[in-house]
Amino acid sequence: MAFPVQRMRRTRRTAPLRGLVRETELSVGDLVYPIFVAAGEDVRNPVDSMPGVFQLSINHAVEEAREAYRLGIPAVLLFGIPEQKDEAATGAYDPEGIVQLATRAIKDAVPELVVITDVCLCEYTSHGHCGVVEKETGEVLNDVTLELLARTAASQAEAGADIVAPSDMMDGRVAAIRSELDSEGFHNTPIMAYAAKYASSFYGPFREAAESAPAFGDRRSYQMDPANAREALLEVELDVEEGADIVMVKPALPYLDVVRRVREATNLPLAAYSVSGEYAMIKAASQNGWLDERSAVLEALTGIKRAGAEIIITYFAPQVARWLSE
């Protein structure tokens, strides 16, 4: 009888042996925690499709940020829900806008926490699209939008944002934002570009949380077709040429092949956004008793890191921080 010479099970026998040969270690330092900041006072509205996630007024957002910092999470990502929306998305670049005010408050309270601000118009436009819409045709106008995005980014940097993160998918926006930041004196503010952002159904719960669902049409004329991977590499190439400091793939779980390919194509830091629908899936299944939440979350996030992302944006960040410290 011939026995196997190589026995892979030898190094799987005990926890210390498994630890010794482990290739990927998820750590709290990898995580970015998204927070939805709402106008108003003492607001703490639960988001139905994202159990455990809330729309928070600035005072509560500051507390949430403080807790994230205490847990060792290095960064938060801010999304704003303004009181008023209009066709020109004025709330996005208002120096006293919701994200600008929240950024100042969080940087005052927890100066060492990295504050990343979402640069997009969809939360601020009355129609919910990520850019200026031409009335007659319904087209989302690229170049007009660039100016507003650049103003938004500069006003966020002015408020103290450590990183600005454009998620709109207009062409040329990284260059437009870079040039505006530089001319306003913010040459040290990095841009984390949502380079490969897909037109995904997994953003559904976010649109409830951010009240940003488009009133007509969809986002397929600017976000990427889920069927394409080479195109993601072109998007990354362009963003790098335009001055991106960090590139991102979004969503994460259905696009791990893209994460891997981008990792191999660039040496810039790579972020992956594990989006609202990924959070909702695991939450719903575990609330039904169909999945063990803790092990499912840690497995999913470890997979994202293994695929090549060193920055992981996840609504599970505080929970993960607690699990990892136990």
Q: Is 200 annotated as a binding residue?
A: no
The binder of ligand PBG chosen from 130, 133, 233, 300 (CB under 6 A): 130
Residue 235 is assigned to a ligand binding site:
yes
Asked if the bond preceding 251 is cis, omega within 30° of 0, the reply is yes
Query: Is 57 assigned a ligand-binding role in the annotation?
Result: no
Residue closer to ligand PBG by CB (options 87, 182) is 87
**Distance between CA atoms of residues 204 and 50, nearest Å:** 10
Q: Which is nearer to ligand PBG, 186 or 202 (CB)?
A: 202
Question: What would the two tokens of residue 57 be?
Answer: 């007024």
275 lines the binding site for ligand PBG (CB under 6 A): yes
Locate tokens 């207009």: which residue?
170
How big is the site for ligand PBG, counted in residues (CB under 6 A)?
Answer: 12
Q: What residues between 171 and 210 interact with ligand PBG by CB under 6 A?
A: 203, 206-207
- Which residue of the chain is nearest ligand PBG when measured via CB? 206
Q: Which of 85, 107, 135, 197 is catalytic?
A: 197
- Closer to ligand PBG by Cβ: residue 152 or 167: 167
Pairing of strands 246-250, 192-197: parallel
Rounded to a whole number of angstroms, the minimum distance from the CB of residue 57 to ligand PBG is 20
Out of 65, 73, 122, 321, which residue is the one contacting ligand PBG (CB under 6 A)?
A: 122
Strands (E), 54-191: 54-56, 75-81, 114-119, 132-133, 140-141, 163-166
Nearer to ligand PBG, 65 or 248 (CB): 248
Query: Measured between alpha carbons, how far is 149 from 168 in angstroms, rounded to an integer?
Result: 9
Residue 125 C-beta: closest distance to ligand PBG, Å: 11
Q: Which of 108, 94, 105, 114 is nearest to 154 (CA)?
A: 94
* Torsions phi, psi for 31 (to 5 deg): -95, 145
Residue 108 CB, shortest distance to ligand PBG, in Å, is: 25
Contact 24, 322 (CB under 8 A): no
Q: Which of 166, 199, 200 is nearest to 181 (CA)?
A: 166
- Which stretch in 5-13, 67-75, 116-124, 141-149 sits in contact with ligand PBG by CB under 6 A? 116-124
Range in contact with ligand PBG (rule: CB under 6 A) among 82-90, 114-122, 252-260, 286-294: 114-122
Question: Residues 118, 180, 235, 242: which binds ligand PBG (CB under 6 A)?
Answer: 118
Residues 59, 42: Cα–Cα separation, whole Å: 7
Q: Which of 276, 280, 297, 309 binds ligand PBG (CB under 6 A)?
A: 276
- Cβ density class 90-110: b for 16+ within 10 Å, e for less: bbbbbeebbbbbbbbbbbeeb
Would residue 85 show up in a list of annotated catalytic residues for this protein?
Answer: no
Of the residues 28, 102, 116, 120, which one makes contact with ligand PBG according to CB under 6 A: 120
Within 7-36, the residues that bind ligand PBG by CB under 6 A are none
250 is an active site residue: yes
Minimum gap (Å) between residue 133 Cβ and ligand PBG: 14
Residues with Cβ < 8 Å from 149, sequence gap 6 or more?
Answer: 119, 120, 121, 166, 168, 170, 173, 176, 177
Closest by CA to 66, choosing from 43, 30, 33, is 33
Which residues participate in the annotated binding site for Mg(2+)? 235
Which residues participate in the annotated binding site? 120, 122, 130, 207, 219, 235, 276, 315
- Point out the residues that are catalytic: 197, 250
Footprint of ligand PBG on this chain (CB under 6 A)? 118, 120, 122, 130, 167-168, 203, 206-207, 219, 275-276
